[in-house]
Structure 1
Amino acid sequence: MTFVQLIDCKTSNVDQLNRLMDDWVVATQGKRTATHAIVGRDRSDSTHVVEIVEFPSHEEAMKNSNLPETNRIFEEMVAACDGMPTFTDLDVVRDEQLNKLLCQRFFDEVVNNNNPDLADELCTADYREHDPSLSSYDMDLTQAKREKGEITDAFSPRITVEDMIAEGDTVTCRLTFQGKHTGAYQGMEPTNKDVSGTGHATFRCKDGRIAEAWWNWDNLGLLRQLGVFEA
């Protein structure tokens, strides 16, 4: 279970805390078990600072706490604070990354359930698509739906999201796909061959919708499977 520790302190020297964080990151390289750290300052009180540190589990957090480098930095942190920091230990019981849910829904319903019109709901009105396999590297949603529809008609592809990583307003996905060439594709008549391959997609989200997307597919591998090129 993911574990989060909140370190709450008062200090008039936030810059010193940031320097200590930098020192800790360098000193614990190859040893630390923390996966994510955030330092925030209270808008209503500039001396109130909260550090949020995430770990894979409470057990991993304890390993991190026992590092001599962590103890040293903590002592220096206490010296930089106006009093002893307080700690809140949290077992994460729910972690909803909403942009990831949005992008997963796009794959599940728009692509795998062949419901392209749902993209009008999931994407912004000024959506832009970038895909070197299409006729233009910069196109609007209407054109993207039309050209992606030709691919769907030709292969009835099913996409599996192997990995999905979100940071800020950006979501990046590692993909695999399977399909069968049962329709015309770029002038090629159906071969009835099974095809598969890999790809990546990166989405920029805005206000709960997808505003921009970048796609990359192994098109050369696809054409080889169709017999256009020799392996």
Structure 2
Amino acid sequence: MVDAATLTSEEQTNLELAHEYMRIAYTPGLGSADAVKHLCASANRFVGPTTFPGTETLEQYADVHGELMTKLDDLHFVSFDVEFVKNDRVAFRYTAEGTHKGAPHGKIQPTGRKATWTASALFRAKDGKLVEFVKEWNNLPMWEQLGWPIEECLTYNK
């Protein structure tokens, strides 16, 4: 974890900003574009084509992730395994888990199966707003644990 005593005021602000975005975007029933827009610069960008293809902004990500959380309505962070802050950059590697006990996944009714996975979130901030979010997440292990079609995770044919 980051030693707050070693951070500049800008770095502390950026760390808090990224944590707040993650808190909102990863809280079932809360994650949505409207809930995070106050944290985002107007011309922001989301990069994660293997995660959520077609998602281009931080607000769009909060919406599609909010949809995922209707299926895993107990989704939560287990830990932030790595945190790094330098100037305008904030990086997290985290572990999360959730149970498919909410809405159906396509035609698959809730399985009651629990999944645990890891991902990385790389943020860039400017003037107190988030301008970029790069997400690295291999969703295949999660899909396998939940019993969802792994073909949905394949990117070579998209």
Note whether the superposition's TM-score is higher than 0.5.
yes
Match of residue 25 from structure 2: 110
Q: Does the 8 A contact of 1:150 with 1:185 survive in 2?
A: no
Query: Which structure carries more relative contact order (alpha carbon 8 Å, separation 6+)?
Result: 2
Q: Deviations over 1:159-218 (max 9, x none)?
A: 232221011211110111011112233553321111111110100111111111011223
Provide the secondary structure at the position in 2 that maps to 1:188: coil
Q: Where in structure 2 are the equivalents of 1:186-205 lying within 5 Å?
A: 187-205=107-125
Structure 2 unmatched ranges of 5 or more: 151-158
Determine if the alignment matches structure 1 residue 178 to structure 2 residue 93.
no
Larger Rg: 1
Q: Does the 8 A contact of 2:25 with 2:65 survive in 1?
A: no
Taking structure 1 as the reference length, the TM-score comes to 0.53
Provide the secondary structure at the position in 1 that maps to 2:26: helix
Q: Where in structure 2 are the equivalents of 1:1-231 lying within 5 Å?
A: 96=9, 97-112=12-27, 114-116=30-32, 117-131=34-48, 132-136=50-54, 139-156=56-73, 157-159=75-77, 160-182=79-101, 183-185=103-105, 187-227=107-147, 228=149
Alpha-carbon distance between aligned partners in 1 of 2:6 and 2:24, rounded to the nearest angstrom: 27
Structure 1 unmatched ranges of 5 or more: 1-55, 57-91
Match of residue 156 from structure 2: none
Alpha-carbon distance between aligned partners in 2 of 1:95 and 1:103, rounded to the nearest angstrom: 15
Regions of 4+ moved over 6 Å: none
Alpha-carbon distance between aligned partners in 2 of 1:93 and 1:201, rounded to the nearest angstrom: 21
Taking structure 2 as the reference length, the TM-score comes to 0.74
C-alpha change, 1:187 and 1:216, in structure 2 (3 Å) is: farther
Alpha-carbon distance between aligned partners in 2 of 1:110 and 1:147, rounded to the nearest angstrom: 10
RMSD: 2.5
Aligned residues between the structures: 138
